[in-house]
Amino acid sequence: MLRMVVSLLLGLVGLGSVYGQEPVVWVASPWQHVLRSTEPGEARSAQIVAARNEYESLRIIIRAGAEALANVRVEASALAGPAGRIGPENVALFREHSINVFKPSYASKAPTGWYPDALIPAAGGDPAAKYPAMPMRIEPGTNQGVWADVYIPRDTAPGEYSGTITVTADGARLGAVPVKVRVQPFTLPESIAVRSNFGALGGGLARHLGMDAGSKEFAAVEDQYIDTLLAHRAIPSSLGNIWPKWTPEGGIDDSASGERLRMMVEDRHVNSLCVPFAYRTEPEKCRAYLRDLGAYLRSKGWLDLAYIYMEDEPNDAEQYETVRRQGELIRESGIKRLCTEQTVTSDPKWGTLYGAVDIWCPLWCLYDETTARQRQELGEEIWTYTALCQGRGTAPFWQIDFAPVQFRAPFWVNWRYGAKGFLYWSSIYWAAGQDPWTAPHFRQQYWGEGMLLYPGKDAGLSGPVPSIRLKLIREALEDFEYMTLAARQGHKPQVDEIVGSLARSFNDWSPSPEAYMAARAKLAALISAE
C-alpha cells in the first residue's frame, strides 16, 4: 500500500518550483491517472509497505519545464536499513508509454488525453527500438512517468529500509526521490489463492505474431508471455505443451508433456488447468478422450484443478441446449465444467443449466446472489468475469480510462460472495490492422479491452510488455492473498467485516483508493498478530 509522503525539501527533487518554467520530479500513486497534462502533485518522496515475497509499486513523474528534457535516465539504489539490504536488482523500473484516448470508452466519463498504460522495462530492451525505455525525451510542459516495482525477497528481515531513485537529464542530476520501505513480518505464499483464466495465448498469440504455433521458436516466445502473467499471479488459459497426446488405440501418452505439466502445477503453482475440449463434434470419441484424460489427471492428483470451458455466453434456447449436451458429454470424466453464464436463467423458456455446470462464471452485472449461494451450497463453484462495459449498474469496468481502483474492487467483491475464480477473455487482443502501441481499442469504443500485454518487438523485446492495468490486477490478487492468510489464521469473521465495509456487490463498492489501503493495513495487522 503506497502512502505518499509530502516533503517540502524541493531542493531534493528539482531545479525549481515554478511548474511552468522549471522541471519538476514528483511522486504519484499507482491508483491515480497521471496524464501528460496533469498538474504536478506535492509529494516528493514515497513510502511503501509490503510483505515478503510481494511486489509493491510506486511512480516517479518527471515534468519538463519551459524547455524539453533530453537523455533522461532513472536509476534506483539499494534499499538499506538496520535489518539488512534489498539489492537494486529487486527494484524494476519501467517507462510509462502513453496512449492518446481521443474518445472516452463507452460509459466512461473520463476526459480525453494521453493515458499511460504500457510499461517498457528499463532492463533488457534495445535503446535503438521504436519505443525504448531509456533514455527519454520529455517535451516542454508535459509529464513522463516511470513505474517502479519493488520486490521483497522471501529472506528479507522485517523492518525499515530506505533508498533513492535518481533522475538525470543530459548527465546532470535533475532530482532524487527518497524511498522508504517497511517490510511486514509475514510472507506471501508461492501458491496462488485466486483461480483464473486469462485467455488467448496459444494459437491466437502465434497468429498475432506471425509465427508457427508448433515451432520451438514460438514456444520460447510464448513462455515469456506465460511467465509474465504468472509473475502477476494470473493464470493463462494456455500453458504451452502441457497436454498429453491421446489416441483411441493407445490412450494417454505424456512422454513429451508430462514433465512440463508437473512443473506448472508443482513448481509454478498453477491452480487452474483449462483442458482442451477436443473432439467435441465426435461425441463418442470425445467421451473416451475425456474419460482417459480425467483418469490421468486423477492419478496425478490434479483432477480438482482441471475444467473445460463450455459454450461461451449461451444466450438462447439452442445455446442452452448445447451447454446441456456438452455437460453430459464431460460429466463421466470428472473434469469440472465451466460456463460463462449467471446462475439464474435469463428466460425460463430456455430451461436451466443446473446439473450441466460445475463452475458458474457470471458477468459482474448479472450476478445473482441468491441463486449463486444456492449453487455454492450444493458444492458448485463460482467465478466471475468482465467484458466490455455491459449492464446498467455501476460495475467496475476495466478500460484504460476508467479509475484505476476499478481493477482492485472486483476481487474484494469476489471475496464477499465466496467466488473462487476470475476469467478475462483475452490478454492479447491486438486487432488486425491496428497498432496496439497507438490504438489499443476494441471496436473503437473500449480502450485496452482484452489487452493486458503489448507485443514487445517495438520495444526491442521478444516477449511481452506489461500494462499498468496488469500491475493493478496483481495488487488486487495480492489483496486476496492477505484475506486468505488472515482467514486461515482464524480471523475470517474479521476479514469478512473488513471486506464487506468496502465491497458489498458489483454495483456497490468503494471508489476510494485510500479506503482499500486502510483496509489492507487492517488485514496485515490481523496476520501479523499471530
CATH of the domain at 38: 2.60.40.10
- Which among 250, 150, 240, 252 has a CA at the least distance from the CA of 201? 240
- What are the cell numbers at 478? 495480492
Whether 525 maps to a domain, the answer reads: no
The pLDDT confidence band at residue 16, using thresholds 50, 70 and 90, is: very low
Could you report the per-residue pLDDT of 34-82, keeping only the tens digit for each?
999 999 999 999 999 999 999 999 999 999 999 999 999 999 999 999 9
pLDDT band at 11 (very low <50, low <70, confident <90, very high): very low
Single residue among 468, 489, 519 that ends a domain in this structure: 468
Q: Pick the closest to residue 94 from 165, 31, 13, 37 (CA basis).
A: 165
Residue 483 within any structural domain of the chain: no
Q: How confident is the model at residue 19 (pLDDT cuts 50, 70, 90)?
A: low
A 10 A CB-CB count for 38 gives 17
- At 12, the pLDDT band (50, 70, 90 cuts) reads very low
Last residue of a domain, one of 154, 187, 220: 187
Question: Which of 240, 292, 293 has its CA nearest to residue 264?
Answer: 240
232 lies in the same domain as 90 = no
Phi, psi (5° rounding) for residue 16? 175, 180
Query: Tell me, what's the pLDDT at 200?
Result: 87
Indicate if the pLDDT at residue 442 is higher than 90. no
Same domain (yes/no): 230, 170: no
pLDDT in the model for residue 5: 38
Q: What is the mean pLDDT of residues 195-214?
A: 92
Total domains in the chain come to: 2
Decide if pLDDT at 9 tops 70. no
Q: Within this chain, do residues 180 and 200 fall inside the same structural domain, yes or no?
A: no
Confidence label for 2 from pLDDT (cuts 50, 70 and 90): very low
Residue with cell 482441471: 306
Contact yes or no for 202/237 (Cβ under 8 A): yes
Return the pLDDT at 262. 97
Closest CA to 253 of 262, 261, 243, 244: 244
pLDDT of residue 346: 87
Domain of residue 19, residue span: 2-187
Cα 172 from Cα 449, distance rounded (Å):
40
Q: Which of left, alpha, beta for 191 (phi over 0: left; psi -120 to 50: alpha)?
A: beta
Sign, CA dihedral 109-198-118-478, equals positive
User: Nearest Cα to 75, choosing from 124, 30, 138, 134?
Assistant: 134
In a domain, 219, yes or no: yes
Is the pLDDT at 1 greater than 60, yes or no?
no
Same-domain pairing of 221 and 174: no
358 & 449 share domain: yes
CB half-sphere exposure, 357, CA atoms < 13 A: 31
Mean pLDDT across the stretch 85-90?
Answer: 98
Q: Which of 125, 159, 187 is the last residue of a domain?
A: 187
Task: Please report whether residue 489 resides in a domain.
Answer: no
Q: How far apart are CA 457 and CA 463, in angstroms?
A: 8
Q: Give CA–CA dist 393/365, Å, rounded.
A: 7
Q: Is residue 180 part of a domain?
A: yes
The confidence score (pLDDT) of residue 488 equals: 97
* Positive/negative CA dihedral, 512, 472, 520, 4: negative
12-24: average pLDDT: 59
pLDDT band per the 50, 70, 90 thresholds, residue 120: very high
Mean pLDDT (the chain, rounded): 94
For 274, what's the count of Cα atoms within 13 Å in the CB-facing half-sphere?
Answer: 22
Asked if 451 and 436 touch (Cβ cutoff 8 Å), the reply is: yes
List the CATH number of the domain containing 303: 3.20.20
Determine the pLDDT at residue 514. Answer: 98
Write the CA distances from 369 to 243, 313, 380, 504, integer angstroms: 36, 19, 14, 11
516 in a domain, yes or no? no
